[in-house]
Amino acid sequence: MKSVVHELARIVQTVAMADLPIDQVNLIVESISETMAVDVCSLYLANEEREMMLLASHGLSAKAVRRVKLPPGKGLVGLVASSRHPVNLADGESHPNYYYIAETKEERFHSFCGVPIVHAGKVIGVLVVQGREIRQLSDEEQGFLVTLAAHLALLLGNNPLAHGDTIGLNERISGVKGAPGIGIGHIKLSDHGELYSVVDTACEDIPGALEDWLQLLELVRNQIDHERQALGSEITGSVAGIFGAYKMLLEDPTFVSYVEAGIRNGNWLPGALRQAIQHFAELFLAMDDPYLKARHEDVHHLGNKLFNAWRGIKPVDIPSDTDIVLVGPAVSVSDIASVPSERLVGLVCFEGSGLSHTAVLANALGIPAVMGTGRIRRLVDNASIIVDGNNGQVTLTPSEMVLAEYQKLANDRRSLMKQLERLRELPAITPDGTSVTLYTNTGLLADITPGLFSGSQGVGLYRTEIPFMVHDSFPSEEEQIGVYRQVLDAYKGKPVHMRTLDIGGDKPLPYFPVDNEENPALGWRGVRFTLDNSQLLMTQVRAMIRAAGTSEDLRILLPMVSSTSELDDFAELFDDAMSQLESEGYEIVRPKLGIMVEVPAAISQIPFWADKLDFLSIGSNDLSQYLLALDRDNPRVSGRYDHVHPAVLMEIRRIVQLASAHNLPVSICGEMASDPVAVVLLMGIGMRTLSMSAAKLPQVKWLIRSLPLTTAEKLTKQAFGCPYPAGIRKLVRDELESLGLQDLFS
C-alpha cells in the first residue's frame, strides 16, 4: 500500500468534493478498493431503525445495494457495530456470527475486516473489506481502515443518507438556527462575484483608479439609500441600523484611505479593495466573543457589494407571483432589498451563525433563516425548498406530503406571532401575580431599537467593543460619547447596562497587538486587560458617564471579574473619573456598578463584594462553558453542551441565594434567558430579570404570563432531583405541553 498519510488525504479530499450524497458513498468504496487492492469494499449505514443498510459496494452484487438491510446486531457487520471494535478475520464464514445473504453473492469471498464508523458517539455505519484469499489483514491495513473510518465519520455524519433520508426528494441539510419560522418557496441564488477571489494585479493608471474609487463609494452610498427606501414600511430600527453601519464604514476615513494606499502602492482597485475588506473583516473574525466574531460577515457583505457595483452587476427581476428563498454563501442586505417583501419567505446562508447580521436582519423582518449549512452543491434557480428556522434545517425538492406538513407548521407559526403582538404593551406577570423584568441584549447601532418594538424594559447587556474595532487607533472620548449617547437616548427612561471593553487574549486590536497565548480563554482579557491599560478604561468610563449626563439610566458592567483586587482597582479609577468630571464642570450622576458573573470563581466571592456592587448580571453562556469545560461552538463537543445541566442550575441557584442574602439585584443574559425550559427553571430558582435577543422576547413574555410561579417552583424542585439534562428537559417540556404551550418549541 502507498503512503498511508498520502492516501488518506487523497480519499478524504476526493469524497468531500463530490456533489451528491450518493456520489460520496460510491467514491468511498471505489477509492478504498483501488488503494488497498481488495476484492470487495462495502459501506453499511444505519437507518432510523438501526438496521445496517448496504448503501454502496465494490465487489458485491449490484442488485443487493440499497436493498439489503441487516437487523441490529445481526451478522459480522452487526458484531462490529454493537462492539464498536474492528473484526479482522482470515475466514469470515467460520465465525459463529457469520450471516449469509444470498443477494450479495459474497460466498466467493473469505477474508473479512470490518471497522465501525462513529459520529458524535454513535455508530452510524460499518466499513468492510473482503477478499477471495483466506488471510487476515495486516496491522497496517487494519490501522489504515480504522483511521479512514474516523475521517469518514466527519463527512458522513452530515450526509442525509446517514439519517435514512431518501435519495433525490426531501434531501435535508442541517445548519444553524438564524431566525425562527417556516419558509416555503423557490430558490433564488445570491452567489454573485466573490471579492475574496480577486488576485492582485498591477495598476496601470493610479490617478484614474483613485478617481474610480471615489465614484464607486458615491455609487454604493446611493444604492444603499435606494435599497433602504425599497424596504419601505418593513424597515425597523434594526434594519435601518444595518444600512447605517454600511454607510458608516463607507465614510470611515480609515477604510477609505486603506484602499487608497493599496492603489498608490500599485494594486488595481479590486485588489486594493480586497486587501482592505479582508483586513477589517479579520479584526472581527479573530475575536473570541461569538457576537463580535459574526460581525466579520457584515464587512464581507459590503466588500462584495462594492465589488459587484464595480463590475456593473444589477439585481435580477423577480416574477411577482413567486415566493422566494434567497440562497448563497452570505445573503446581504442588498439581496434582501432586491426581493419584494411580500415574496421573500426565507434565507439560507452557507456561512455565518445565529449572531450574524443576516440573522439579525432576518429576525427583524420576521423571515425564517438557516445559517452555516456549508456549501450546498447542485443548486438551481427556481427549485423548490423549505427553510425550517426553528430547527436549523433545509429541505431540498420536498415531496407533496412533506410540503403539506410544513405548510401546516408555517400557518400555525404565523397565527401564534399574530397573537403575541397584543402582548407588546402588557407586563410580564405570572397568573399568580409575580412580575418578571424583560431586557434586551444589543451591540451594534443596528441592534439598538428592535427590543423596543418587542416591549423591552431596558438593555440588559450593551457590548461596547465596536467603536474600538472600526478605528485604526483607540477612539477618543468624544467619539465614544457619540455612540453611547445614541443607545441611552433610544432607551431614555429605561436602564441601560453597558459592559466595559471586553477585549484581549484572542480578541486583539490591530493597532495594539497582543502576543499569542496558549490558552486565551484563560488569559489577558476582559477587566484584566483594561486594568492593565487603565488609560483606555479611564477614557471609556468618562465617556459613558458624560453620555449619560444627569440621567440615572446608565449601569456599568465589568466583565470577567475573578478577584477582589480587580474590583478595588476599578473602584479607585471610577472614583477618580467622577472627581475629574465634576472638577471639569460636567453635570453628572454616579452610575450604578455591577459585574458579569461568568467566571466560576466569582460566585464564592459575592459575600466579599456585596458592599462594593449595586447589582449582578449572570453571563450564562460563558458561565456554562467554564463550568462544563465545553465549547458550544466546537462541533466535536457541542452536542454535550446544555445549559440546563444540573451543575449549571445549582450554581445559578447559589448565585441567586447569595444575591438575595446581600440585597443585590441579579439578572441573567445569554441563551438561557430565552430557552423556554430554562426560563421555567430560572423562575423557579428565583430569577426575576431576564435579558435576551429582541426576537425571543414576545414568546418569553407569553410563557411567563401563562405559567403560575407555583408550577415553575414545583418543576424546579423536581428538576434538582434529576441527574440528566435530557431528563430535566423532558420533565419541563411535558408540563408546558400539557398547559397548551407546545408552540414555544415550534
Q: Which helix (H) or strand (E) holds 15?
A: helix 4-16
**Backbone angle region of 704, left / alpha / beta, with phi > 0 → left and psi within -120 to 50 → alpha:** alpha
45 residue type, one letter: L
Q: Cα(13)–Cα(31) distance, rounded to whole angstroms?
A: 11
**Amino acid identity, position 614:** D
Contacts 24+ apart (CB under 8 A), 539-543: 539/474, 539/476, 539/477, 539/480, 540/464, 540/480, 540/500, 540/501, 541/500, 541/573, 541/574, 541/577, 542/477, 542/577, 542/580, 542/581, 543/477, 543/478, 543/480, 543/481, 543/484
Placement of cell 452567489 in the chain:
191
Q: Are 278 and 255 contacting, i.e. CB atoms less than 8 angstroms apart?
A: no
User: Distance between CA 490 and CA 449 in Å, rounded?
Assistant: 7
Question: Could you tell me the three cell numbers for 98?
Answer: 457469520
Helix, strand, coil % (nearest 5) of the chain? Answer: 50, 15, 35
Name beta bridge partners: 284. Answer: none
Active-site annotation holder among 41, 113, 349, 669:
669
Reply yes or no on whether 357 is catalytic. Answer: yes
- Stated as kind and residue range, the H or E segment containing 274 is helix 269-285
* Whole-number Å distance between alpha carbons of 274 and 272: 5
Q: Where are the beta strands (DSSP E) in 605-665?
A: 615-619
Nearest to 603 by CA among 621, 627, 625: 627
The one catalytic residue in 357, 497, 643, 645 is 357
Q: Is residue 58 annotated as part of the catalytic site, yes or no?
A: no
Distance from C-alpha of 3 to C-alpha of 471, rounded to nearest angstrom: 50
Q: Counting runs of H as helices and runs of E as strands, what totals does the chain give?
A: 27, 22
Query: In sequence order, which residues have a C-beta less than 8 Å from that of residue 193 and are 6 or more positions away?
Result: 304, 307, 308, 311, 313
Residue of 264, 470, 297, 440 lying closest to 364 (CA atoms): 440
Integer Cα distance of 420 and 422 in angstroms: 5
DSSP reduced 3-state for 372: coil
Strand order in the sheet with 369-371: 171-174, 393-396, 384-388, 182-189, 324-328, 344-349, 369-371, 176-179
Element (H, E) at 152: helix 139-156
DSSP 8-state symbol, 200? P
Angle CA(691)–CA(695)–CA(698) in degrees, nearest 5? 80
Task: Give the contacts of 516 (CB within 8 A, at least 6 positions apart).
Answer: none
Helix (H, G, I), strand (E, B) or coil at 455: coil
Indicate which residues carry an active-site annotation: 357, 669
